[in-house]
Structure 1
Amino acid sequence: MNHKQHRFSVFIKPIVFGIDISIIVSVIFLFPLRITNLYIFIAYSIFFWSLIAFKIGFYSIQRSTKMIGIVRLVFLQMSFYAFILYAFIGFFKQPSISRSYLAFYFGTSFALVFIFKLLTYLLLLKYRAVFKGNIRKVVVIGKNSKSNQLIKIFKERLDFGYELSKQFNTRSEGFSLDDCFNYILDHKVDKIYFSISELSNSQVNKLVSFADNNLRELKFIPDNKEVFTKKLKYEYYDYIPILSLREIPLDEPVNKIIKRVFDVVFSLLIIVFVLSWLTPLIAILIKLESKGPVFFKQYRNGFSHSEFECFKFRSMAVNENANVVQATKNDMRITKVGKFIRKTSIDELPQFFNVFLGHMSVVGPRPHMISHTTMYSKKVDKFMVRHLVKPGITGLAQVSGFRGEIETDNDIVNRVRFDIFYVENWSLLMDIKIVIQTFVNAIKGEDKAY
C-alpha cells in the first residue's frame, strides 16, 4: 500500500537546511576573522544554527504559510544567531577576532539566507501553481459555507498545491462513510478535510480510525462544537481555520537529521567495533551446527508500510514456515546456537546494516512480518500509525515488557499503545534512554527472549 504521490518534497526541507549550512560556513572564508581555531567555530556555528532552527521551527513551513511568516522566521533565526556569534568571542576567549569582519560575516550570511529563503518559497509557489508539481490530492467531507470556502481556496490558490478530488455531501441520500473510505483508497487521496458539524461523534471516531489505520492525513474544519482529542494545531488557509489531529516530531527536518546522524554514527560503531570480529565467530558456530546460510533475510514492513529485507543471524534450522510462523517458547526449530544468540539478542545485530542503509532506525517500533502486519492492521485499531516512522532494532514497547512472542491480544494492543506514544513524543533523549535500557535488559536477560 504505497498511496503517497509526488513525495519528492520530503527532500526539500533537508536540502534547504543543507544549503543554509553551506552558506553560513562558506561565508566564513570570505573575511579575515582571525579565529584561533576555525574548525571549532564552524562546528559551533552549525550546532547552534541547527538548535535555533529546531526551537523556532525555521524549516517547519507549511503550504499555507504567508510571506510575512517567512520574513518573521528569517529575522528571528538571524537575531538568535547574531547573539550566538558574539557569545563565541567570550566563551572561547578570542581576543584577536575581528569584530567588524564578524559583523560583515553576519550581514552577508543574513542577506544570502534571506534571499535564498524567499526564492525557495516563491519558486515552490510557482512550481505548484504553473507546473502542477508537488500536488496533494484531497477530499472534503461536508457541504456548508466553511467547507465551500475551503474548496474555493483550493481552486483559487493553486500555489497551495492541493487538488480537490471530491466533495462528499453528508446530507445527501445514501451518504456512507464507507463509500468515502473506498473512494479515498481507490483514488490514492493524501488528505481528508471534514466539517465537524456534519458528522456525529461515532462517525468522527470512525473517520479518525480510518485515517490512522491507512496513514492518511486528517484535517478538521472546526465549528462551535468542542473537539475532544489530543494536541490540536491550528493552521489558516487564508482566513479559514483548519485543525490538525496529530503532530509527528520526526516530520520536522531538523529532528530527522538529528535522528539520522545518531543512527549512522551508532550503527557504524557497532559495525566496525562489534560485527567486524563477531560475525566470523557467529558464522562458524552456525555453520558447524546446521546447514544453511549464516544470515536470515525476511521481508518486513517499514516506513510508510514499504517493504524491506530485514537481516538477522540465522537462529533456526532452515524451514518453510520461517516467514509465516513466529518463534515460540521451546520452539523445536531453534538451534542450540540460535537459543544463545536469541537470548542475548545477538541475532538482531545484523540489523545495524539495515540502519546504516536507511531501512531502519536504532530505536523505533519493531517491524513485523508481512503476514502479521496484514493480520494486525485489520485486528488492532491504529496499528498502522506505527509506520509513520522508521522501524527500530529496539523500541519503547520492547523495553516496557512487550517484546518477543505475541501470546494474547493484550500483548499486541499494548505494544501498539507504546509504539504510538513513541511516534507522537519522540526525542533524542528518549532514544538514548531506550538504548541504555535495552543494553541493561540484554545483560539481565528477559523472559520472552527466546
Structure 2
Amino acid sequence: MNAPFATGSLARERTDADDLLVAPSLERRRLQCYLSLVVGDVVSTFIGFAATGYLLAGATGLRESLVHAQLILPIFLTLALYNGAYSTPALQDGWKGVFRALLAVIVAVVVVVFVQFLIRPDADVSRSGFNGGALAAMAVIAWMRLQLRSFVRWRCGENIINELIIDDGGPQVQLRGAIRISAAAMGLRPNLNDPNALDRIGLVLRNIDRVIVSCPAGRRAEWAMMLKGANVDGEVLDDEVARLGAQGARVVGKHGLLLVSAGPLGLRDRAVKRLFDVAFAGGAILALSPLLIVVALAVKLQDGGPVFFTQRRMGRGNRFFNMYKFRSMTQALCDSNGNVSASKDDQRITRVGRFIRRTSIDELPQLFNVLLGDMSLVGPRPHATGSLAGDKLFWEVDLRYWQRHSLKPGLSGLAQVRGFRGATDHESDLVNRLQADLEYLEGWTIMRDLQIIFLTMRVLVHDRAF
C-alpha cells in the first residue's frame, strides 16, 4: 500500500493534520482481536470441561466439570496474559499463539492439582473427568484460535502492525505490506533545530507502529535522534549491519536495519497509565471545582483580561498541543512563545498571579489537558519552543532533549520533585532536569508515578515558583 505524496508548505495547524495521515490506526482493531481470543479461550475451556464431564457422568459430571473450569480459568488467563498468548506475535503467528495458550493451560492444571493436594489431599475428585476435561479444553482452545485467524486477518490485515518506510534518498528496501512514502514529496526533514519540522514528522507517524528510514549515511544520526522522541519503534537502514553480522538488528533481504528507538511503554502499560490519569484528573477536577471557580473569578476581576493563558507546547511524538494555565501575567505582556522566563521580581506578574504561581495553583487547568489526552499526570514537563537555558535554546544545549518527547508530558515529573524547576538561567539548569527526565523514561511503573505524585504534594509551594 502506498501513501499519496504530499506537497505544499509545512503543516502547522491541526486543521491540516488529516492531509498527513498515511495509515488508519490498528491499535483498536488489535484490542478487538485480543478480546476475541480471550472470549474464545474462556468459551473453549468451559466447552471442553463441560463436554467431558457430561459424557463421563451425565448431569453430575457436568456440574463438577464446570467447577473445575472455574478453578482453572483465573490462573490460565493470568498466565496467558504474561506469556504472550495475547500479544502481537500471537496475532501474527496463529500457531505461536496456540502454543503459548496451551502452555498456560498446562501450568494452570499443575497449579490447581498442587493446591488441591495441599488443601484437601483426601478430596474425592474424578481424575478422569479433570484430566479429560483439561485435554479437551486444550483441543478446543487450539481449534478455536485457528478459526479466529480469519477474524484477525479481517480486522488487521496480514501485517497486524502498521510499518512505514520513509525514503529519504537511501537504498530501496522491499518489505511486504509496508507503507512507503517519499520524504522529499511530503516535506519531511529531520531538522533538530526546527520544532515545526519535527511536528510535521510526528503527524505523519500517527498510527504507525514501526518506521524504517532509508537515507544517506550523513543523515542517519539526525533521523535516529528524531525517532528517539517519536514514541515509535524506529529503524535506520544501514547495510553495514548485514556485512558485520551485528546482533540486535534485523536483516531484510540484503539490507540491514539498526534498531535505534522504541516506544517506552507497551500497550498494557499505556492503558494502565491512561486509566489512572483519567480517574485521578476527573476526581481532582470535581474536588477542586470550588477553588478553580474562585481563582478564575480572581484572575478576571484583577484586570478584566482572559482567565486562561494558552501556550503552544511540544508533547509526545514531537507534536504540538495547546497547554492551559490560569493567567498570571498582565494581558499585554504575556509571552506566548516563552522566550523570557519569569524571574523573582518580574514586573509582568500580577498580584493574583504571584500567589497562584507560588502555590502552583496556576497549573491546575492542565488537569483538562490530561482528560483531553495531551498530557499525563506524571511525565517530563512540556516547554515552550522559545525557552532558553542561558542564551541557548533547550535543544541546542543537548540534542538528547528530543528524547523526552517519547512520553506524554506531565503536570509533574521526576525533575520537579528533585527541585529542578523554575527559571533556566544557566545551561546546567536544563541539563539537570533533562537528566532526570531521561531517567524517568528508563523504567516506568505505576508505583513510581504514585510516588512522584505524593512527592509533588510536598513541593507545591516552593521558592523557585515566580
**TM-score normalised by length of structure 2:** 0.67
Distance change >3 Å, CA 49–CA 340, structure 1 → 2: farther
2:83–2:100: 8 Å Cα contact kept in structure 1? no
2:376–2:409: 8 Å Cα contact kept in structure 1? yes
Aligned residue for 1:368, secondary structure, equals coil
Deviation readout 1:8-59 (Å, 9 max, x if unpaired): 1233333334444555678899987888xx9xx99x94x9846853564842
The CA deviation at 1:367 is 1.6
Percent identity (aligned): 26
1:70–1:118: 8 Å Cα contact kept in structure 2? no
Partners in 1 of 2:414 and 2:449 — Cα distance? 9
Partners in 2 of 1:97 and 1:341 — Cα distance? 68
Distance change >3 Å, CA 92–CA 301, structure 1 → 2: farther
Aligned residue for 1:280, secondary structure, equals helix
Q: Read off the aligned partner of 1:352 and give its amino acid letter.
A: L
Distance change >3 Å, CA 75–CA 102, structure 1 → 2: closer
Partners in 2 of 1:96 and 1:286 — Cα distance? 74
Match of 2:449 in 1: 431
2:33–2:152: 8 Å Cα contact kept in structure 1? no
Match of 2:81 in 1: 53
Distance change >3 Å, CA 279–CA 124, structure 1 → 2: closer
1:375-390 matches, within 5 Å, as 376-377=394-395, 380-390=398-408
Distance change >3 Å, CA 305–CA 96, structure 1 → 2: farther
2:45–2:137: 8 Å Cα contact kept in structure 1? no
The CA deviation at 1:331 is 1.8
The yes-or-no answer on 1:208 pairing with 2:221 is no
The yes-or-no answer on 1:324 pairing with 2:342 is no
Partners in 2 of 1:240 and 1:97 — Cα distance? 59
Match of 2:435 in 1: 417
1:363–1:394: 8 Å Cα contact kept in structure 2? yes
The CA deviation at 1:353 is 2.0
Partners in 2 of 1:10 and 1:339 — Cα distance? 44
Match of 1:260 in 2: 274
Partners in 2 of 1:420 and 1:356 — Cα distance? 24
Deviation readout 1:131-168 (Å, 9 max, x if unpaired): xx95523348766xxxx8xx3x52xxx34x253759xx
Distance change >3 Å, CA 245–CA 324, structure 1 → 2: closer
Worse-superposed segment, 415-424 or 50-59: 50-59
The CA deviation at 1:266 is 1.5
The yes-or-no answer on 1:365 pairing with 2:380 is yes
Match of 1:9 in 2: 26
Q: Read off the aligned partner of 1:340 and give its amino acid letter.
A: F
Deviation readout 1:202-223 (Å, 9 max, x if unpaired): 8764553354467782246524
Q: Read off the aligned partner of 2:31 and give its amino acid letter.
A: P
Counterpart among 262, 284, 302 of residue 289 in structure 1: 302
Partners in 2 of 1:289 and 1:396 — Cα distance? 34
2:85–2:98: 8 Å Cα contact kept in structure 1? no
Aligned residue for 1:448, secondary structure, equals coil
Partners in 1 of 2:357 and 2:79 — Cα distance? 39
The CA deviation at 1:224 is 5.9
Match of 1:174 in 2: none
Q: Read off the aligned partner of 2:141 and give its amino acid letter.
A: F
Partners in 2 of 1:226 and 1:393 — Cα distance? 44
Partners in 2 of 1:10 and 1:340 — Cα distance? 44
Distance change >3 Å, CA 188–CA 359, structure 1 → 2: closer
The yes-or-no answer on 1:351 pairing with 2:366 is yes
1:23–1:112: 8 Å Cα contact kept in structure 2? no
Query: Which structure 2 segments of 5+ residues have no match?
Result: 1-10, 12-16, 51-62, 184-189, 192-196
Partners in 1 of 2:249 and 2:324 — Cα distance? 42
Match of 1:406 in 2: 424
The yes-or-no answer on 1:119 pairing with 2:147 is no
Partners in 1 of 2:144 and 2:377 — Cα distance? 33
Q: Read off the aligned partner of 2:436 and give its amino acid letter.
A: F
Partners in 2 of 1:74 and 1:236 — Cα distance? 30
Aligned residue for 2:25, secondary structure, equals helix
Deviation readout 1:301-346 (Å, 9 max, x if unpaired): 2222333332222323323433123423222222333222222222
Match of 2:415 in 1: 397
Counterpart among 278, 303, 306 of residue 291 in structure 2: 278
1:302–1:359: 8 Å Cα contact kept in structure 2? yes
Aligned residue for 2:87, secondary structure, equals coil
Partners in 2 of 1:315 and 1:96 — Cα distance? 74
Q: Read off the aligned partner of 1:324 and give its amino acid letter.
A: N
Q: Read off the aligned partner of 2:369 and give its amino acid letter.
A: N
The yes-or-no answer on 1:192 pairing with 2:212 is yes
Distance change >3 Å, CA 125–CA 19, structure 1 → 2: closer
Q: Read off the aligned partner of 1:138 and give its amino acid letter.
A: I
Worse-superposed segment, 7-16 or 53-62: 53-62
Partners in 1 of 2:327 and 2:29 — Cα distance? 39
Max Rg structure: 2
Deviation readout 1:358-394 (Å, 9 max, x if unpaired): 2211111112235449954566413332222211111
